[in-house]
Structure formats: structure tokens, C-alpha cells
Chains A and B, each alone.
Chain A
Amino acid sequence: MKKKGNLRLILSLAVVALLYGAAVLVEHTSGSKSMVVTVLQKGAVYALIAVSMNLLNGFTGLFSLGQAGFMLIGAYSYAILTIPMAKRAAVYQYYDGGIVQFTIGLLPALLVAGVMAALFAALIGMPVLRLKGDYLAIATLGFAEIIRAFVQWDAIGPLTNGSNLLKTYPTLKTAMPGNTLLFTFLVVGVCIGLILLLINSTYGRAFKAIRDDEIAAEAMGINLFRHKQMAFVISSFFAGIGGALLAMYQGSLQANGFKSAMTYEILLIVVIGGMGSVSGSILASFLFIACSEWWLRFLDAETMIGNFQVPLLAPGFRMVAFSIVIMVVVLFFRKGIMGDRELWELGSRRQAKGGGRNK
């Protein structure tokens, strides 16, 4: 059994290495400006964010809707710390160049982004994690909104630039010129790898126990609050890094983008991929981004085939079609693409798991 496990690990690593090679190849053949590369970048960033949300919602059974708030904190921490000194006066045009008068390196800034998000999560988690089910959902949603309002507050403008844009910080394109995709994949890969290691550790098992049955988990000596807090903080840590990566991807940053709609979108990705499946979330992220921002774009264009105007196609139809697909998944394919299994488990002996949990 052990040998088999090793073989599988080596095989998985080989596949990952192959994918990375392919990514480098794609970028070098089609150029970093091509649609494929852009979509792959965003897909990778969303994959990390979706996996971080899955850690909470899918693996620990905590229905939290605060992801956008933690991404916001991560994104702002990163941007504030990395905007070059020379550009600060232009960016903080209403606030005399802002109060942060130093910059740090890109990777340390990414780490700080995660840590800041985690710190906030620890603070927020203390009261909020005592709530259950949908109350937790609505409270975290509320906190995310409060964070967004706070960041845009004029009084802390010297720090956050109020509701104005942050720009000129290092982006994905400048981080590792020529190999943006490799850089994105590396950061995201390391983060997801860490999450996977955690999920398969004894702590990960405890998270799953809490998801399956809180009362039994507590009777097994698992301190519910501490473990929930851990999951919440770790999820937020990676959401913070994900937020920073999203900021790097966008090239400019504004608190207004991090609305609850963003959280919903990530939640839907997690659902489509399968609650409790890391590989499902990754697959669904790429698929979701590719469909919604690339392949289905033609639905928005009024199209004539000969003299025949294709019905329904008009601006906004893409989103309608897309939301219908999502409803179909939610209603009829509730387990999503992967259920709660992983790609690399597909060949294993474990039986299909029941879709219904909680009660």
C-alpha cells in the first residue's frame, strides 16, 4: 500500500511538472498577451482562491461568505507595500503621497498579504465562529462589507488611498518577465500544495470530522472552536495571497471590485468543482473563467448569419445563459464535477461517497 502511494505521488508530481512545462511552452509560443495566457493566469489565481474557500466550506463545513473581504485585505496589503516610492505621489494624489513611505520586495509582500488577512480572520473569527450555519454565512458576508466600507473610508485615505485606485505596483507581467504564467503557477502551486499537505495531515482529518459531525468530533476531543479558527485563519491566509495575486493580475486595484458578488462567484466555482475536492476546485476555476470570459463571449454579440438575426443574442445574454447553467448544476448535479474525490483518487478502491452530509 505504501509503495502504491509513493508511485502515485511520483506520478502526480510528474503530471504537475508536465503541466508547468506546457504552461511555459504556451507562453513562449503564443506570447504573454494572448488570450490563452490571460485566461490561464486568472484561472490559476481563482483556483487558489477557490481552494482556500473549499478548505473552509467544503472541508471544514463552515459556510463562510467572507472570502472577498479577506482577498481585499491581502490585495491592499500587497499593493500598499510595493508601490514604488517614485510613483506614490501620483497614485496618492489626494493624500500627498500617502503615509507609507517604504517598499518591500514582492515575495515578502505576498507573505504579508496573507498574514494580514489571517490576522483579520483571527480577530473576526473570535466572535463569528461561535455562530452556526447560515448565521455564520450572513455574519461573514457582513464583515466583508464592513471591511470594504472601512478601506474606502476617507480618514484612512493616506494608507489605502480611500476609494481611489491603487496602481503601479509590480504585476504578474513584471514579476518574472517573459514567464508570467510560470510565476503564477509556481506561487499558486506552492500555496495549493501547502493546503493539500494540511488537508491530508491529522489536522485536515479533524477538519473533515467537524464537517461530518460536530458533536461526534467534539466527543473525540477535538476542540471545535480552535480547529474552526485554524481553518478560518488558514483559509483567509491563502485568500489574502489570492487577493494579492488578483491585484497583480489586474494591474490596478480598487476596493469596489471586491463585492459579495465576487464571493458568490467563487462559491459557485467551488460548488461546480465539488465541495471537498481540491482538484475539482482547480478544474472548475479554469473552466469557469474560460467559459465566462472567453468561450461564451459570442453570446453577447448580436449576430447575423446571412440575413437571419440569431435570436436572444444581445448584451447580457452570456450572463443569463451562464447563470442558468449554474442553476442546472446546483439543482441536478449537486456533487459537481468531482464530488468530494480528487483526480488522483479516481482509480482507487474507495467507494463513491454519498452526496448528502450534515443533515
Chain B
Amino acid sequence: MKKLIALVLAVMMLVPAFAMAENVIKIGVFEPSTGDNGAGGKQEILGIQYANSLKPTVNIGGEEYKVELVIEDNQSVNDKAVTAAASLVNAGVSVVLGSYGSGVCMAAGDTFAEAEVPAIGVSCTNPNVTALCDYYWRICFLDPFQGSVMANFAIQKGSTTAYVLNMQGEDYGSGLANYFVEAFKAAGGTVVGDKAATFPEGTSDFTAYINNAVNANCDVFFAPCSTTYAALIIDQAAAQGVKFPIMAGDTWENSAILSAAKGKEVEVYCSTFFDENDDAAAAAEFVKGFKEWLNADAGNLNNNGGNDIVAAVSALGFDAYNVALAAIEAAGSADSKAIAEALPGVTWDGVTGSIAFDEIGDARKDMAYIKYANPETGAFDFVKTQKVGE
């Protein structure tokens, strides 16, 4: 034991020694790579790493600085998130990117705020992340927006009765579900049980929920939850031969959903930040380059779930990195406080649309992409863009 500790200490002292190079600016990556959201977190990291591989340096006041990514695992758990954040601050990062999942961001917010290190939320959609923390910005859209978008979409498809389901204790899902219920009811629809049903963590058997929906004659099933449960819900709904469409938020834009839906009689829609088949040149270029980059490295491919389908969170990660670089250039300094001051003024034309921040620190985004998981081709088909007001 003693020897082990001695060894560990020795290694720790060596690690910073390697990093000692001239003109380095550190960007912290605050993401889960283990725990409930580990899979999504890793895809987000991939986007950031890809962006880093394209732009490994940044120009600060006329000098080229090498960008070093410091990646810390927050383990998807709030109490571990605090040490992960402190560890980033301790490593001397100038700006932080992440995380996947809102809970860990809120837990870490204080640490970043106190150290005056700005953090850019990549795919944390809970309003309180930025509302309750002055040092948090965000480049994705928020739960209220996404919930309303999907509710509008469902109403436009002619749905009148919705069954809403999310995992208990998950703030992402419950937030989204709540806003969906609100918007759906406001648009004249009814929600089974008048509110969202929840399932306990670790559930595999969703047949009862699906039966409940069938028995209530619902014509749309909204289930914002992680991909693990999504795959189960889709598979079991197909086995029970349901007729209604199943919808969810951005997490479902994932290869797990495609393989679950493939070859089955089921209609699955999700909203997302980004469309892989977007015609915009920036997006098309990103998708092509990212796929090549993924396929070139077995480790990266494995982290992406074993295939080269581009997840929306990877695109967001890519944009987040670029926003951070733009902020650093705008600040003309590696000082975190200067970057924080420059950040509100930064705009960036990203692959997920153009990004500019409002006074709370959220990106002004007003458009989501609706996608359909095509069971025949095993790919996402672009359906339409959807705005709240439509």
C-alpha cells in the first residue's frame, strides 16, 4: 500500500513535468465518461477533440498558443462533479467546456464561479444552469424550448392525447416532460393522467407503461430519457404493435435508437440541435471530416458506440470548442477572467447554427430539427425545422 502511494505520488509529480511547454493555454473538458451519462459525455468529448485536432493552436495577442485539453471525468454524479471541477481549476484551465447533463453543471457552477473560470455548457438544457450561475454560458437550446417544439410538432401531426414518460430523479427528462405537458395542454391537447408518468432507474420492463398508453387511447408517446431506456421502449412498443408515434428530445438522436427501430413497425421522432444531412456547407464539412477522423482511430470509434454516426452532442462539442477559441482571441489573453468578460460578446457561426448569447448566458437559438428514425434504412431522415411560434 505504502509503495503504491509512493508510486502514485511520484507519477503525479512527473505528469506536470511533461506538460511544461512554452505558450500553452489549457481548456478544461468537464464531462462524464463514466456513470449514467458516460456514453453521451464521451461523444461530446469526441466533438471537442476533433475540433482541437483541426485547430490545435490559438492566437493570443499575436502569439500562437498551443491548446491543451484537460479532460476530467465528473462520473455523472453531483458530489464527484465538485472535485472534478476543482481539479480542472487546479490544473489552471482558462475556460471550461461541458457538461452532458445539467445536474453536474449546477453542482460545479460555484467552483467555476469562485475561481472566475468561465464555463460553456455544451448540452445541459436545464434553465437553472445559467440562470443561477454567473459564470455559466450555454450553446444549446433549453428544455422549455425543446418541450414546446415537440408539443407543437405533435399537435401539428394531429395528436390530441399524449402519454408522457420520463425517468424519476433525472432533471433533464423531467424538465423536458414538464414543458412538453405545459405546451401540449396549452395547445388544446390532453395528457394522460394530466402529468408525466415516471419510471424508476434501472427499469427494463416498459410493457406496462406502453399498455397504459394504449388503454388511454393516446396518439402520441413522448418519452425524453437516456438512450438505454429509449431503445427498450422502442423495442417493446414495436413488439406490442402500437400505432402511435413515439417522440423525444435531443438525446434520442443516437445510433442506439436507430438500431432499436430498424426493421420494426414503429414511428420514432426526435428533436435535435443539428442535422447530419444539413445542406449548410459548414455542417456538411464537419460531418465528412468528423467521420474520417472517427474511422481513423479504433479508440475513438469505440467511444462513439462502435459506428461513425454523428451525434448531435458531438457537433455541439465541436461548436463549443470553437466558441471558446473565439472568446480567447477576443479577450486577447489567457486569463480566465478576461475570457469571461469577452464571452458575452462572442458570436460564432457553428455547425449547429449561429451562436450568440443573451443576457442570461444562453445561446439565442430558436430552431430545432425534427428527425425521423427510418426503420428501413436505419438512418435518421430529416423531417422539418420547427420553431416554437409556428
Contacts and interface: CB of A to CB of B under 8 A. Distances in A.
Interface of A: 32-35, 37-39, 42, 87, 90-91, 93-94, 148-149, 152, 154, 162-165, 167-168, 171, 173, 246, 249-257, 289, 291, 293-298, 300-302, 305, 314-316, 318-319, 325, 333
B106 A165 contact: yes
12 contacts: A33-B115, A35-B86, A38-B82, A42-B82, A93-B128, A173-B110, A251-B106, A256-B103, A293-B87, A296-B8, A297-B73, A300-B33
B128 A167 contact: yes
A32 B114 contact: yes
B170 A163 contact: yes
A315 B303 CA distance: 10
Interface stretch (B194-202, B209-217, B254-262, B366-374): B194-202
Given A152-B169, A315-B42, A297 B82 contact: no
A257 B83 CA distance: 15
A38 B84 CA distance: 10
Interface string B77-91: 111111110110110
A235 to B, nearest CB: 20
Contacts of A305: 18
A333 B73 CA distance: 30
| Most chain A CB within a 10 A radius of its CB, from B11, B109, B170, B171 | B171
A325 B4 CA distance: 10
Given A39-B83, A87-B132, A296-B8, 13 more contacts: A33-B86, A35-B87, A90-B128, A91-B128, A149-B168, A165-B103, A254-B171, A257-B103, A293-B83, A295-B8, A295-B9, A301-B71, A315-B34
Interface in B134-175: 168-171, 174-175
Nearest to A259: B201
B12 interface: yes
B54 to A, nearest CB: 19
B169 A256 contact: yes
B299 A314 contact: yes
A251 B113 CA distance: 12
B170 A256 contact: yes
Contact of B299 (A34, A42, A302, A319): A302
B12 A249 contact: no
B160 to A, nearest CB: 24
A94 B178 contact: yes
Contacts of B106: 165, 167, 251-252
B360 to A, nearest CB: 12
B9 A289 contact: no
A163 B114 contact: no
Contact of A293 (B1, B80, B115, B171): B80
B168 A152 contact: yes
A289 B4 CA distance: 16
A252 B82 CA distance: 10
A254 B128 contact: no
A252 B103 contact: yes
A40 to B, nearest CB: 11
Given A173-B110, A298-B12, A301-B71, A163 B168 contact: yes
Given A164-B174, A314-B299, A257 B90 contact: no
B15 interface: yes
B131 interface: yes
Contacts of B86: 33-35, 37-39
Contact of A250 (B11, B15, B82): B82
B251 interface: no
B132 A167 contact: yes
B278 interface: no
- Main secondary structure on B side of the interface with A: helix
Contacts of B87: 35, 38, 293-294, 297
| Most chain B CB within a 10 A radius of its CB, from A164, A173, A296, A302 | A164
Across chains A and B, which 9 residue pairs bring their CB atoms closest together, nearest first?
Answer: A256-B169, A315-B33, A38-B86, A35-B90, A293-B83, A163-B169, A252-B106, A251-B110, A33-B115
A134 to B, nearest CB: 22
Contacts of A295: 8-9, 12
Nearest to A30: B90
A165 B115 contact: no
B111 interface: yes
B10 to A, nearest CB: 11
Given A295-B9, A301-B71, A256 B33 contact: no
A33 B83 CA distance: 10
B15 A289 contact: no
Contact of B82 (A32, A93, A251): A251
A171 B87 CA distance: 19
A121 B269 CA distance: 46
A253 B34 CA distance: 20
A255 B77 CA distance: 11
B8 A291 contact: yes
Interface string B54-73: 00000000000000000111
B301 interface: no
A47 to B, nearest CB: 14
Nearest to A287: B5
B17 to A, nearest CB: 12
B107 interface: yes
Nearest to A36: B90
Contact of A315 (B12, B38, B131): B38
A187 B299 CA distance: 46
Nearest to A32: B114
A293 B34 CA distance: 13
A296 B75 CA distance: 14
A163 B174 contact: yes
Contacts of B71: 300-301
Nearest to A171: B110
Contacts of A149: 168, 200
Contacts of A301: 71
Interface string B1-37: 1001000110110010010000000000000011000
